[in-house]
Chains A and B, each alone.
Chain A
C-alpha cells in the first residue's frame, strides 16, 4: 500500500501521454495534457504526506501538532496555476485552428513538415 499513490502518479503520466499521442481532437488532446500534469500533483502531495498529521495551518491547533509538509503544497499551488494558464492558452490556439481549418483533428493541421 505504501507505493500506491506513487503508482497512481506513474499511471496518470502514462495514460495522459497515450491520450496525447493517439488523440484525434485538439480539445481532448489538451485535456490529456492536463492529465499528465495531474500526475505531478499526486506525486508532490504524496511525497509530503505524513501519516496521522494534519494540514500545516495552525489557526485553531497548538504549534506542536504534527502537520504534513507545507512546501510541496506551495509547489502544487504553483503547478495548478501553470496548468490553468497553459490550458487557456492552448484552448485559444484550438479556437483559432478551428476557425482556420474547420477541424479540430491535429492530423489535418499540417501546413509545415519535412
Chain B
C-alpha cells in the first residue's frame, strides 16, 4: 500500500531540507539527493498505478471523510491515468537530474529545490480530486516553472521568456479561479465528484457553460493549445534543456489531462446531453493546434523553438484524442502523451548535447559541424521518426487507437490530420539533422535576431559525457517499449472507460465503501494493420518532405520554387503573429476564451 500523499509530500520535505542545509551541501550531494528523491517518487507513482488499476484510491486529508455525500475536506482521487502522468513527470525529473550532473553550473541548491517543488506540484495536480486544490497545485507548478525558465539571467531571452510565461499563465490561473468561483456559488462544493453530482441531470445554463469555458481555457493555456500557445515557444527557446524536457514531456500534458478530468467528473452530467457539440468544438481546437504547430515547427531554424512548436502539434493530437470522447480515443490520447512525452524529452536532452559541444542550436551555425557526433545523430534521427509515428515507437500504436476511434465516429478524415501533423514535425527535425550532422543542402538563412551564446555549460567540450547520453537513449527505448507491453491498448481502454464514468467516480469518492464497478465489455484492441500502415505512411511522408526541403535547390526548378513559394508568404504572416510581445499574447488569450465561449453558447443553447 502506497500512501497517496507521499509523491507530493516527499519532494516537498526534501526541498525544505536542502534549503536548510544550503551551501553546506556539496553539489554532488545535492545531485544525489535529488536523483534519489525523484526516483523514489517515480516508484511511488508506479505503485499507485498498480494499486488503482481496478478501483480509485481515495485519500481524505485530515481524515475528513464525506458524510451524506458532502465533502468537508480535500481528497486525492488516484486513478491509473493521473498516477501514470505523475510517474512520467517524476521519471523525467529524475533523468533531468542525472543529465544535469555534468550539465550546468548550479546556483547553490536552488535548481534542485525548484525542480523538486515543481515535481511535487505536478504530482499533486494529477492526483487531486478537488478543484480548488488543483488550482493551488497549478499555481505552485507555475511559480517554480517561471523561475526555472529565467534560470540563465545573463541573457536577454530567458527574461523575456519568463515574463511572457508568467503573465500569460497567471491570467489563465485567474480564469480558472473565476470558473471555480462560479461552480462554488452554484453548488457549494469544491470536491469534483460532489460538484458533478450537484450539476448532474440539469440542463446547462449560462453559469455552467461559462464555468466550463473558464476552467477549461485556464487548463488549455497550460497545455499550449492554439490560440493560447504563444508562451510555450518563447519559453522553450530559452529555458535550460533539461527543464524543457520536463515542460514538453509532462507539464503541457497536465493541461489536457486536467480538461478531461474536470469534464468527466464535473460537467459530463450536465453537458453530456450535448456530446456531439462538445466533441465538435474540442475537435476543431485540436485540429487547428496540430496543424499550426506542425507548420510553425517546419518554419523554425532554432532547434529548441522548432521542438517547442512540434510539442504544440503533438498536444493538438492529444486534444483530438480527448475530443472524440470515447474510451478508445482517450486511451489513445493517454498512451500518446506517454510515447510523445518520452520521445520529445529525449530530443531536448540530445539538443543539450549539441549546445554543450558547439555552444549554439541554430541551424545555420551548426551546418555540417556535427558530423562526428554519430550517437547524437542517431538519437535525433530516431527521435524524429518517433515523432512521425514510425512503428514500433509508441506514437504509432496510440495514434492508431485515436484514428480507429475517429473512424468509429465516422470521422475518418481525422486520421489524415494526425498523420500530416506528425509528418510535419518529423520532417522539421529530420531536416535539421540532415543540415547539422550531414552538412547536406545549403545553410538556412540567418536568424531574425542576433544569436546568443548558450551559457548553460562551461569547461571541457571535446566529448559528450555519458550522463548526458544515457538518459536520452533510455527515453527513446521507453518510447518504443510501450508498444510491446502486452494488452496495453485494451488495458488503457478499460481504464479510460472508468475515467469517463461519472457515476462510478462519484460513488467511489463520496459513498464509501463503493461497489466494485461493472466490468466494461471491450473489443480486443491490438495494433491494427491500419495503424502500422498509417504510421509507416506518415514516417515516409516526413522523410520525403525533409529530403525535399534539404535538396530544394536540386529539385526540378518549378517544383523547388513552388515549395519555397508555398512556405514563404504564409510564413511571414505566421512569424509576425508570434511577435514575442506579451500584450499580443494576452489579447489572443482573451480572443480564445471569447471564441470558445461563443461557440459553446451557440452549440449548447
Contacts and interface: CB of A to CB of B under 8 A. Distances in A.
B300 to A, nearest CB: 8
A77 B448 CA distance: 45
Contact of A112 (B153, B160, B166): B160
B157 A112 contact: yes
B185 A112 contact: no
Given A33-B170, A47-B185, A17 B448 contact: no
Given A39-B174, A72-B184, A112-B237, A90 B583 contact: no
Interface string A41-83: 0011001000000000000000000000001100100110010
Contacts of B580: 110-114
A13 B564 CA distance: 44
B449 interface: yes
B455 to A, nearest CB: 14
Most central of B139, B170, B449 by chain A CB within 10 Å: B170
Nearest to B168: A20
A112 B331 CA distance: 37
Contact of A90 (B132, B163, B173, B581): B163
What secondary structure prevails in chain A residues at the interface with B?
helix
Interface in A78-114: 78-79, 82, 85-86, 89-90, 93-94, 96-97, 100-101, 106-107, 109-114
Contacts of B170: 33, 36-37, 86
Contacts of B142: 86
Max chain B C-beta neighbours (<10 A), residue from A17, A21, A90, A100: A21
Given A47-B184, A86-B143, A112 B167 contact: no
A75 B134 CA distance: 13
Contacts of B575: 113-114
Given A20-B171, A37-B174, A110-B580, A97 B143 contact: no
A110 B583 contact: no
A71 B184 CA distance: 10
B130 to A, nearest CB: 11
A86 B150 CA distance: 14
**Which of the four size classes fits the interface of chain A?**
35 or more
Nearest to B162: A93
A33 B171 contact: yes
Contacts of A107: 581, 583
Contact of A89 (B147, B173, B177): B147
A109 B163 contact: yes
B167 A20 contact: yes
Given A20-B586, A86-B143, A106 B150 contact: no
Contact of A96 (B157, B159, B171, B448): B159
Interface in B135-174: 136, 139, 142-143, 146-147, 150, 153, 155-157, 159-163, 166-167, 170-171, 173-174
A14 to B, nearest CB: 9
A93 B586 CA distance: 18
A13 to B, nearest CB: 7
A9 B174 CA distance: 12
Contacts of A2: none
Given A20-B586, A113-B575, A71 B190 contact: yes
B166 A93 contact: yes
B177 A110 contact: no
12 contacts: A13-B174, A21-B590, A36-B174, A39-B174, A43-B181, A89-B143, A97-B163, A106-B163, A106-B581, A112-B157, A112-B238, A114-B578
Interface of B: 132, 136, 139, 142-143, 146-147, 150, 153, 155-157, 159-163, 166-167, 170-171, 173-174, 177-178, 181, 184-185, 190, 234, 237-238, 300, 305, 448-449, 452, 575-576, 578-583, 586-587, 590
